[in-house]
Amino acid sequence: MKHLRKIWSLSITMLISSTLYAQNAPFHAVVATDNSGDYAKVQEAIDAAPENRTEPWIIFVKNGSYREHVVIPRNKPFIHLIGQDKEKTIIHHNLNVGGAPNEKTKDATYWAHSVHNPQAEVHKYEGSVVKVKSTDFYTENISYINDWGVEAQAGPQALAMNSSGDRASFKNCIFRSFQDTWMTTTQDTARHYVKDCYIEGAVDYFYGGGDVLLENCTLYNVRRGSVIVAPCHKDAKYGYILRDCIVDGNKAAAKDSRTTLGRPWHNAPRTIYINTRLMIPINPIGWSLMGTVPAIFAEYNSVDKEGNLVDLSKRRSEYVGRGENASKGSCPTTITKDEADKLTYENVILNNGNTWNPREIMAQLPAPKGLKVKGNKVSWKRVKGATGYIVLAGDNVIDITTKCKADIEPGTTAIQVRAVSKYGALGAIAK
């Protein structure tokens, strides 16, 4: 009898999933704050997603303010979370991981938002606005914001993103907090690929482990003496590689040239900046001390905001850890062009020959051609490789369809159409 109930439950789940997909193709589910989708919250869509997928489960999130705590469990791989517009699709919450205040605490306002406070709304939350435990996660066009960090502009630790699984990829997203904005995987065999993203913070705001490649990203510092990365690599082959990125910041971060590129958290961390444009002055010493000696903290071809090569001769090469019997040692401060040329997407991300290719996942289809509006009809030519289309009037999604036409209200203006790939990536805009 239990066996029959299990089969019946599975059948109902499959029927619901297939029905949603038929309604929302090219997406499996749509989230919208105005109840125009299948769910009003992102977590509801995650909860309804099937387990143990081997291909993408695509969730489209319309513009809106989603104040919630989102957890993607280990048994739900291949979640693709697609936002409509990174500036207007916002997943956020007010939380931190500060401990109980005591007689030495100068300002205890954080405690009302601590996950350790039994009286707090966020009690026993995971400690990050979004926690991705599964593998094969992909997201684009979404802001991930920890309100505590952004509004308080102070600690304690307040993560916006914690991504612990292998094969995680991120495109055109925003990550904002103050202390510890984003923690990557501590599994050094795991890989992340981050492209065209904006990451904001002040204290160790990109930290953790794994082989992680950032390309064309902006690291934005919001405090005097900011510290960007704090890795803890032990067995990673490459560690953190930042290629063609921008280091920028506000007036406080630029003041007195005290901002540093990073500091070594644990083990033997690895970080290399390649072709970096430093839009604010960086401390000539480059790196701060912390708990250990890095395997390598180095740069190649760093330039200032005018494009002039930065003098790297004063970069720190000698390190000492903390506590009794603290470790001491040295590491390289620069790499050669030949070495930099080997730290590529193909080597860092595709290094073990498996089929994960995040650039393919995030590839943008071209804008549909032949867009025509006539009366209450809009039509366009098919885009090769598209599984469907989004039709918009300004910021309003007026249709999601697999066809090359849609009905509109007469007189509707600012019509836009975007193709959607089989991975959920949004194409260029036809208007």
pLDDT tens digits for range 224-237: 999 999 999 999 99
Q: What ranges make up the beta strands (E) of 79-165? A: 79-83, 89-93, 128-132, 138-140, 143-146, 159-163
- Does position 153 have pLDDT exceeding 80, yes or no? yes
Q: What is the pLDDT of residues 164-218, one digit of tens each?
A: 999 999 999 999 999 999 999 999 999 999 999 999 999 999 999 999 999 999 9
Q: What is the pLDDT of residues 290-343, one digit of tens each?
A: 999 999 999 999 999 999 999 999 999 999 988 888 889 999 999 999 999 999
Alpha-carbon Rg for the chain, nearest whole angstrom, is 23
Query: What single-letter amino acid sits at 158?
Result: A
Residues 343 and 376 in one domain: no
Pairwise CA distance, residues 42 & 144, whole Å: 12
This prediction's pTM? 0.94
**Higher pLDDT, residue 37 or 7:** 37
Residues 321 and 416 in one domain: no
Q: What is the pLDDT of residues 354-405, one digit of tens each?
A: 689 999 999 999 999 999 999 899 999 999 999 999 999 999 999 999 999 9
Q: How many domains are there within the chain?
A: 2
Residues 404 and 353 in one domain: no
- Does position 2 have pLDDT exceeding 60, yes or no? no
Residues 344 and 281 in one domain: yes
What are the beta bridge partners of residue 246?
Answer: 218, 277
Report if residue 14 sits inside a domain: no
**Which residues constitute the domain of residue 415?**
363-430
Strand pairing report for 203-208 and 182-184: parallel
Residue 307, judged by CB atoms within 10 A of its CB (0-12, 13-18, 19+), counts as exposed
Whether a cis peptide bond, with omega within 30° of 0, leads into 358 is no
- The distance of Cα 106 from the centroid of its chain, to the nearest Å, equals 33
pLDDT in the model for residue 325: 83
Q: Place 14 in a pLDDT band, splitting at 50, 70 and 90.
A: very low
Residues 113 and 229 in one domain: yes
Report if residue 170 sits inside a domain: yes
Residue with tokens 């990673």: 236
- Does position 352 have pLDDT exceeding 80, yes or no? no
Residues 340 and 370 in one domain: no
- Does position 47 have pLDDT exceeding 70, yes or no? yes
Report if residue 333 sits inside a domain: yes
Residues 91 and 152 in one domain: yes
Select from 300, 329, 361 the last residue of a domain: 361
In the predicted model, what is the mean pLDDT of residues 63-88? Answer: 98
Three-state DSSP state, 252: helix
Report if residue 10 sits inside a domain: no
Asked if 38 contacts 45 with a C-beta cutoff of 8 angstroms, the reply is yes
Report if residue 26 sits inside a domain: no
In the predicted model, what is the mean pLDDT of residues 107-123? Answer: 98
Phi first, then psi: what are they for 252, rounded to 5°? Answer: -65, -40
Neighbours of 68 (CB within 10 A): 16
Q: What is the pLDDT of residues 124-150, one digit of tens each?
A: 999 999 999 999 999 999 999 999 999
Whichever domain contains 232, its CATH number is 2.160.20.10
